Amino acid sequence: MSKLKINGKEKDFSHKIPSCLSELLELLEVDGATVVAEIDGEIIERSKFETTKLQEGQSIELIRFVGGG
């Protein structure tokens, strides 16, 4: 069991989950400079992406700006 819930979908990491948010973003090929994250409902500042450790089963939201009115 090496699972995280990312943007509402369960994702299975075959060996072990990424250690921190930065590693997760790298793995997903998402540019961290434009993203804001929430872990289990708590906002994580971008400056803390590297120091925020991940734990199995957490629910992570990755959010960014899009066009809107």
Partner 1 sequence: MNIADDKLIINGQEISSRLFVGTGKFASNELMKSAIEASGAEIVTVALRRVDIDNKNDDMLSAIDSDKYLLLPNTSGARDSAEAIRLARLARAASGINWLKLEVTPDPYYLLPDPIETLKAAEVLVKEGFVVLPYINADPVLAKRLEEVGTATVMPLAAPIGTNRGLSTRDAIEIIIDQANVPVVVDAGIGLPSHAADAMEMGADAVLVNTAIATAADPVMMAQAFKLATEAGRIAYKTGAAAESKMAVASSPLTGFLRDE
64 binds partner 1 (CB under 8 A): yes
Smallest separation, CB 38 to partner 1 (Å): 7
16 binds partner 1 (CB under 8 A): no
> Considering only CA atoms, which of 9, 10, 4, 15 is closest in space to residue 53?
4
Name the token pair of 9. 């979908």
Backbone dihedral region for residue 23 (phi beyond 0: left; psi -120 to 50: alpha; all else: beta): alpha
Of 20, 22, 30, 59, the one binding partner 1 by CB under 8 A: 30
Q: Which residues bind partner 1 (CB under 8 A)?
A: 6-9, 28-31, 34-36, 38, 43, 45-46, 61-69
